[in-house]
Amino acid sequence: MPHHHLANGVSPTANGSGVQEPPAAGPAPSLSLRHVCLQLQAKVDAFLAQEADTSLLKGVQAHVREAMSVVDEALERYSIEELSLSYNGGKDCLVLLVLILACLPRHFEPPDDDDDDDDDKGPPPPSSSSYTYTYTTNRTAPNGLTSQIPTNTPAAPTPVRSRSPRPFPTSLQSVYIVAPDPFAEVDAFVEHSAATYHLDLSRYALPMRAALDAYLRDRPRLRAVFVGTRRTDPHGAALTHFDPTDGDWPAFVRVHPVIDWHYAEIWAFLRHLGIPYISLYDQGYTSLGGTKDTHPNPLLKRQPDAAADPDTFRPAYELVDDDEERLGRDR
């Protein structure tokens, strides 16, 4: 498989577990969850402190700040035992996972036996102060979609006022609802990333509603689930940051921190920060379901006169328009 250069100059390689992994881009699995979180917090804070040189990256920075404020609010509303992440290894929930973990150090106390090895821990959390966000500016994407973004965002994420000191968790609850006929690469990446990021992962090979029923029976304290749905996804157009489930669906609050992100912004974030992702995305897949209903996006098929094999596809991050993301899906 060819190497594709990241925006930060790192060239990723796919390993045997289906992971498209830049060298040293992901935290080592041997680190504690807190140390993983501190490393990701440092990455995100450094990205937000940069002077963005494109309108795309400026938009990503604004949406990162907005998403982190939603995560912060959820972490204040609910205890960590009441929260979970819907996680299938896809690009959107991967962005969401990184942002959640980057927020955790501002809400939880380090354990008493935490060592002082700065090389492992990364920089300390930001000092406390307060910022006010107002969402009043419409941003227009290349496909004509608009979303509101902050107009007075600070250079760093908003520190929060924790209700009381809480011990740092050792894992993050998450649920993996397996697609029918799953890709082996997806299953492998979910397993690999769950270990790396300390996910307490519950796996259900059931239809969506039955899986959620089972999960709530298994986790009766659960009150809210982080979901990586975006505005252009099916049934995503009218969602807000916090939405209770509908009708007779299992009852919990869906939290949508990345609801207003665009497709190109998702990829700009992952690639700029060097976050490992599923190798299928480099084979032209832009939206992942199961093996029987998911194909490489036809718009990414290489032209016959290209130097590369004409039966191959360009990577997912070369697509731009949100409306073209699901052209490789049968449903």
Give the model confidence (pLDDT) of 247-265 as tens digits: 999 999 999 999 999 999 9
Tell me if 275 sits within 8 A of 310, measured CB to CB: no
Query: For residue 38, what are its two tokens?
Result: 């501190």
pLDDT band at 15 (very low <50, low <70, confident <90, very high): very low
Name the 3-class secondary structure at 108: coil
Q: Within its chain, how far is the Cα of 90 from the centroid?
A: 8
Average pLDDT over residues 236-257: 96
**Rounded Cα–Cα distance for residues 67 and 260 (Å):** 9
Q: Which of the listed ranges 20-29, 81-90, 306-315 does the model predict with the highest average pLDDT? A: 81-90
Facing residues of 14 across strands? Answer: 20
Nearest residue to 264 via CA among 41, 60, 8:
60
User: What number is the average pLDDT over the span 115-128?
Assistant: 41
User: How confident is residue 140, by pLDDT bands cut at 50, 70 and 90?
Assistant: very low
**Residue 247 class from Cβ within 10 Å (0-12 exposed, 13-18 middle, 19+ buried)?**
exposed
pLDDT of residue 7: 32
Domains recognised in the chain with CATH numbers: 13-324 (3.40.50.620)
Kindly report the three-state secondary structure assignment for every residue of 241-252: CEEECCCCCCCC
- Rounded CA-CA distance 234/252 in Å is 20
Burial 258-291 (b: 16+ CB within 10 A, else e): bbbbbbbbbbbbbbbbbbbbbbbbbbbbbbbbbe
For residues 109 and 167, the answer to whether their CB atoms sit within 8 Å is yes
Question: How much is the pTM?
Answer: 0.79
Cα–Cα distance for residue pair 256/243, rounded to 1 Å: 8
The confidence score (pLDDT) of residue 30 equals 76
Which ranges constitute the DSSP H helices of the chain?
33-49, 55-77, 91-103, 118-121, 184-196, 208-218, 263-273
Whether 149 and 135 have beta carbons less than 8 Å apart is answered as: yes
Question: DSSP class of residue 155?
Answer: S
